[in-house]
Homo-oligomer: A and B are copies of this chain.
Amino acid sequence: MARTSRDIRSANRLTVVQQVVAAGTTSRQRLAVDTGLSLGTVATLVAELTDLGLLTEAGQEDSGGGRPRGLVTADPHGGLLVGVDVAETYVHVDLFDTTLTRLAGAEEALRPLERRPHQVVRHIVSGIDTVLAGTGARVLGVGVSVPGQVDREGGVSVFAPNWNWHDVPLRDLLADHLPLPLHLDNPLRAAVLAELWAGAARGRDDVAVINLGTGVGAGLAFGGILYRGSSNSAGEWGHTTLVLDGRLCRCGSRGCVEAYVGAPGIMQTLRDLAPTSPLLHPEDQTATLDALAAGLAADDPTAAKVVAETARYLGVAVADLVNLLNPEVVVLSSWVADRLGDRLRDEVRAVVAQHALRRPLVATGIVRSPVAGNPVSLGAATLALEGFLTQGR
């Protein structure tokens, strides 16, 4: 479909704010070069965004003989953004200003049996109350990332190992307690937005952000814009087949990528290679991954073997993404990728180099996420910012 002039203005607004946030301080002239928009369009958008309180003048720069150029920067007083990362064991809430600087945070644990929607909602609301306590500024929006496949308009269908939510009307449940613009999505989308706004995908067009945690997925952006698919369920790369008739996956299929490179899959690989290894903490994914990371650092041969085998699985699956999508950058994100660090990245790069076709291979960088803190809550906050900018609220 064609984009309407309204869509285009929204998209261009986003682009300008994104560029300013990334650059810190910049000029209209540089914005025009960086975005491909005309100087006139940039000037109009900057004026609109200044009226909205998102941008502000930041002095002038010498233009080397010509007229001095006015500088603009993101206005930290433009309003507040809340980002919420609902995970399987916690609800993490962060408060940001409109420069995406983190102002406050709160985390509430979800106990093993706290799985019912109203219990989770209570923790979300309580976390938001904590970070907003004492703040007076306007809240532009709240972004909430929940695991699973999310229907943005209303309900949310969750697909998480220990949850059993189906068509939970999360938007309505939250709206009862939160009279604020609310934006729901899942961690794959949030992670891509975090990389586009503040991470390894800044200024990039075609991007895959791999979430490597208990669950596994690939958030996608094409042409610099988040890709959702036709029913907002794109990115379920964790449930693409790596080994036909392989390990049973929690989705019911066999041989899925997630069954090999999600935390439980890595634990299975460890169990297969060394069933009695002291690295294995049978009921504790985090402890096992910590032990593997410590083992890597201490040259433990079992840890090295498990990571090499994991890199082999992950590398083949990343090569699949490279061959299919020819992205500019593949970003390794989330806690399993963080734990196994540069070692996993380097071994994955080597496997991808063996399996990907030459032309897409040379066009793709494979990097770790440079986002500090929680990329999902940051991404959820940018979801709220994007909602504010595109809906004109």
A231 touches B36 (CB 8 A): no
8 A Cβ contacts from A101-128 to B: none
A224 to B2, CA, bound (A): 8
- A364 to chain B: which residues have CB within 8 Å? 230
Is residue A240 within 8 Å, beta carbon to beta carbon, of the partner chain?
yes
A392 to chain B, nearest CB (A): 17
8 A Cβ contacts from A299-346 to B: 313, 316-317, 319-320, 323-328
A317 to B255, CA, bound (A): 12
Q: Given A1-B15, A241-B319, A233 and B328 touching (CB < 8 A)?
A: no
Q: Which of A67-75, A84-92, A279-287, A354-362 participates in binding chain B?
A: A354-362
A205 touches B233 (CB 8 A): no
Q: Which of A5-13, A20-28, A177-185, A370-378 participates in binding chain B?
A: A5-13
Interface centre among A205, A241, A242, A316 (most CB of B within 10 A): A241
Q: Indicate which residue in B35, B206, B240, B360 contacts A323 across the interface (CB closer than 8 Å).
A: B240
Count of A residues near B, CB < 8 Å? 66
The digit string for A220-232, where 1 denotes a CB below 8 A from any CB of B, is 0011100111111
A244 to B11, CA, bound (A): 41
A241 touches B3 (CB 8 A): no
B360 touches A233 (CB 8 A): yes
- A320 to chain B: which residues have CB within 8 Å? 240-241
A241 to B324, CA, bound (A): 11
A1 to B246, CA, bound (A): 41
Is residue A363 within 8 Å, beta carbon to beta carbon, of the partner chain?
yes
A245 to chain B, nearest CB (A): 8
Q: Given A234-B360, A324-B234, A229 and B206 touching (CB < 8 A)?
A: yes
- A11 to chain B: which residues have CB within 8 Å? 2-3
- A38 to chain B: which residues have CB within 8 Å? 4-5
Q: Indicate which residue in B4, B230, B317 contacts A363 across the interface (CB closer than 8 Å).
A: B230
B159 touches A251 (CB 8 A): no
B244 touches A230 (CB 8 A): no
- A231 to chain B: which residues have CB within 8 Å? 326, 359-360, 362-363
- A4 to chain B: which residues have CB within 8 Å? 36-38
A319 to B237, CA, bound (A): 11
A240 touches B324 (CB 8 A): yes
- A211 to chain B: which residues have CB within 8 Å? none
A325 to B218, CA, bound (A): 10
- A237 to chain B: which residues have CB within 8 Å? 323-324
A323 touches B223 (CB 8 A): no
A234 touches B1 (CB 8 A): no
Is residue A236 within 8 Å, beta carbon to beta carbon, of the partner chain?
yes
Is residue A243 within 8 Å, beta carbon to beta carbon, of the partner chain?
yes
8 A Cβ contacts from A144-178 to B: 149, 157, 159
- A232 to chain B: which residues have CB within 8 Å? 326
B317 touches A241 (CB 8 A): yes
- A218 to chain B: which residues have CB within 8 Å? 324
B234 touches A159 (CB 8 A): no
- A243 to chain B: which residues have CB within 8 Å? 243-244
Chain A residues close to B by CB (< 8 Å): 1-5, 7-8, 11-12, 15-16, 35-38, 41, 149, 157, 159, 203, 205-206, 218, 222-224, 227-237, 239-244, 246, 251, 253, 255, 313, 316-317, 319-320, 323-328, 354-355, 357, 359-360, 362-364
A and B contact pairs by CB, cutoff 8 A, 11 listed: A2-B11, A7-B36, A206-B229, A222-B222, A229-B363, A232-B326, A235-B326, A236-B360, A239-B357, A240-B319, A241-B355
